[in-house]
Structure 1
Amino acid sequence: MTGSDRRADMVRQIRQSGVPLSGTKLASMYHVSRQVIVQDIALIRAAGYDIISTNRGYILNTVKSASRVYKVQHTDDQIEDELCMIVDFGGIVKKVMVNHRVYGQIEAEMNIDSRRKVSEFMEDIRNGKSSPLKNITSNYHYHTVSADREETLDLIEDMLRKKGYLVETEQ
């Protein structure tokens, strides 16, 4: 078994285990030293896996989340209301994107997850530090929103619809 095969199998074992797996147990499973396991865990983390070390062993942090893209339209005066409503219902506004007829897709990271971040964003807009992307596409834009589960995204979608911000698209 190669090192990369071992690491892939370690991720699988840690993910499927109902309990933390100790370095000693992993070392005996793969017939390597604990030091090799420590190095493998570092490489697995570098590959993007959120492996957590506990006093009883290693676990894989699997944060469950869902995301959805909403097409919306509103005025500048309604930006704060839209963003606050999303974060109040438990959403995180990850990105904003517009589809420009000449330039194509233009997107920007937002990562707004609280009213404080909404206030900071609005302050930048009011001070002229930046201008909303939606202004170049007649107020039409898309938000990528993430939340802890699909039901939260359903609530957000319902509120966007009730407020008249959601642009319904035919499927």
Structure 2
Amino acid sequence: MQRDKRKDKIIQKLQSAGSPVSASALAREFGVSRQIVVGDIAILRAEGYDITATPRGYVLPLNQEAASIYQIACKHDRAEILEELNAIVDCGGTVLDVTVDHPIYGELVGNLHISNRIEAREFVDRVNESKAPPLSLLTDGIHLHAIICRDEATLELIKEKLRSIGILFE
């Protein structure tokens, strides 16, 4: 398959996918190497496509007409990551990212795109298997999450749940 046709197919796949799509999955589908797909993604980004790399694969921005993006501040230790993520997704939110304010590097952002308990569990499993600390541990557990939810009432529900389990940082 020629590069231009493959790039078109990648965009179509990302637009229709309900979750992140890995470079390996795209490579298998198109019969090319993972590195070829990574190169195609780089070219698509240079052409202006807002493709985000998450720990589970590539995504295009969510449709923001039906939802809004909000920031919430949280504080917890490593053992409470799953409880925090589950609280957010159970109340109807999607965790887009985590941001910490590092004293040397400034703002550090990690893309997450977690929208259900399965994705939350997979993320926590990867954190636990990794030797790298979660970003929030670099700032004594204090961090921000960009979350997407349908309205302010859903945001308040999320905040109340996080407050009740001692994770909302106010």
TM-score range, shorter chain: 0.5 to 0.7
3-state SS, counterpart of residue 166 of structure 1: coil
Partner of 1:93: 95
Partner of 1:79: 81
3-state SS, counterpart of residue 64 of structure 1: coil
CA RMSD of the aligned region, Å? 2.0
Determine if the alignment matches structure 1 residue 134 to structure 2 residue 136: yes
Consecutive aligned runs of 4 or more in structure 1 exceeding 4 Å deviation: none
Asked whether the 8 Å contact 1:67–1:147 carries over to 2, the reply is yes
Between Structure 1 and Structure 2, whose CA radius of gyration is higher? 1
Partner of 1:110: 112
Structure 1 unpaired stretches of 5+: 1-45, 49-60
Structure 2 unpaired stretches of 5+: 1-47, 51-62
3-state SS, counterpart of residue 164 of structure 1: coil
Identity of aligned residues (%): 32
Give 1:162 shift. Answer: 1.4
Asked whether the 8 Å contact 1:124–1:130 carries over to 2, the reply is no
Partner of 1:11: none
Equivalent residue pairs, number = 111
Question: In structure 2, what is the Cα distance between the partners aligned to 1:62 and 1:77?
Answer: 32
Question: In structure 1, what is the Cα distance between the partners aligned to 2:107 and 2:49?
Answer: 29
Question: In structure 2, what is the Cα distance between the partners aligned to 1:87 and 1:135?
Answer: 22
Report the TM-score when normalising by structure 1. Answer: 0.60
Question: In structure 1, what is the Cα distance between the partners aligned to 2:111 and 2:152?
Answer: 22
